[in-house]
């Protein structure tokens, strides 16, 4: 493995929303950042590959390419929503969310851990959701997938600790991204009323927590789920 001065981090779903915020935060903190996403932003300076995280062959090839020069941190952020009530949910709506939001996380972890194991160090941060802890009406697929990510995080932490690799999850609450654009003012007001700190979260709130978990300051934290929700779910 070639030597490298800057720590190297790979972020899935890093072209927009929370993922882009994470890429920008890690870059500002001195990381050499790579992005895996189904669509890349041409204006981004980061190394990037078009990858469907639910496709293990695509994942294996891209991670092997990036990690050839080292892999210090993996942030599994890629995710989709296909909301519907359970009795109307189609097989496709269910499976697509499980494939991307849960299997995709597993695929990226499985491909990354051997590189971290060889280096005897590394940090993995999985983006879960408070809805993986509490469930949400109309999101049985998403809630189940994110609950699975939390279980996966804890199991991986037990498997990788011997290699000095930490594995943690972030569970965001309501964060101000494009997904919220379809919400009415009444829906936003109702949501804010649930949040103790009285505001919708910013992308930077999540990115800051991710950057902390990737840093040396968090080397004694593993198997944890940190809620970044302003007290929305206690």
pLDDT for res 45: 78
Whether the pLDDT of residue 1 is over 50: the answer is no
Separation of alpha carbons 9 and 131, rounded Å? 26
pLDDT above 90 as % of the chain: 90
- Cα angle: 207, vertex 162, 103; to 5 degrees: 50
- pLDDT tens track for 123-160: 999 999 999 999 999 999 999 999 999 999 999 999 99
- pLDDT tens track for 66-116: 999 999 999 999 999 999 999 999 999 999 999 999 999 999 999 999 999
Is 31 tagged catalytic?
no
CA nearest neighbour of 232 among 134, 125, 85: 134
Exposure b/e, 77-88, CB count within 10 A at least 16 = b: bbbbbbeeeeee
The structure's pTM equals 0.96
Query: What kind of architecture, by CATH, is found in domain 8-228?
Result: 3-Layer(aba) Sandwich (3.40)
> Among 115, 142, 222, 230, which one carries the catalytic annotation?
142
The values of phi and psi at residue 200, to 5°, are -75, 140
Conformational region of residue 12, where left means phi above 0, alpha means psi within -120 to 50, and beta covers everything else: beta
Higher pLDDT, 2 or 48: 48
Whether the pLDDT of residue 222 is over 90: the answer is yes
């Amino acid at each position: 493995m070639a030597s490298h001065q800057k720590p190297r981090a790979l972020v899935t779903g890093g072209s927009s929303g929370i993922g882009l915020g994470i890429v920008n935060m890690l870059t500002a903190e001195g990381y050499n950042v790579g992005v895996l996403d189904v669509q890349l932003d041409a204006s981004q300076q980061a190394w990037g590959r078009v990858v469907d995280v639910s496709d293990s062959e695509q994942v294996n090839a891209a991670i092997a390419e990036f990690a050839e020069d080292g892999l210090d941190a993996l942030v599994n952020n890629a995710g989709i929503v296909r909301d519907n009530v359970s009795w109307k949910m189609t097989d496709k709506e269910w499976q697509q969310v499980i494939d991307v939001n849960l299997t995709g996380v597993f695929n990226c972890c499985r491909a990354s851990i051997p590189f971290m194991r060889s280096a005897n160090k590394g940090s993995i941060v999985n983006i879960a959701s408070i809805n993986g802890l509490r469930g949400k009406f109309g999101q049985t697929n998403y809630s189940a997938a994110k609950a699975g990510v939390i279980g996966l995080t804890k199991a991986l932490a037990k498997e990788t600790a011997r290699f000095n690799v930490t594995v943690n999850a972030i569970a965001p609450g309501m964060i101000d991204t494009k997904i919220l654009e379809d919400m009415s003012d009444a829906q936003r007001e109702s949501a804010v009323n649930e949040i103790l700190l009285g505001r919708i979260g910013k992308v930077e709130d999540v990115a800051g927590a991710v950057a902390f978990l990737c840093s040396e300051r968090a080397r004694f934290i593993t198997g944890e789920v940190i809620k970044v929700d302003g007290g929305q779910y206690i």
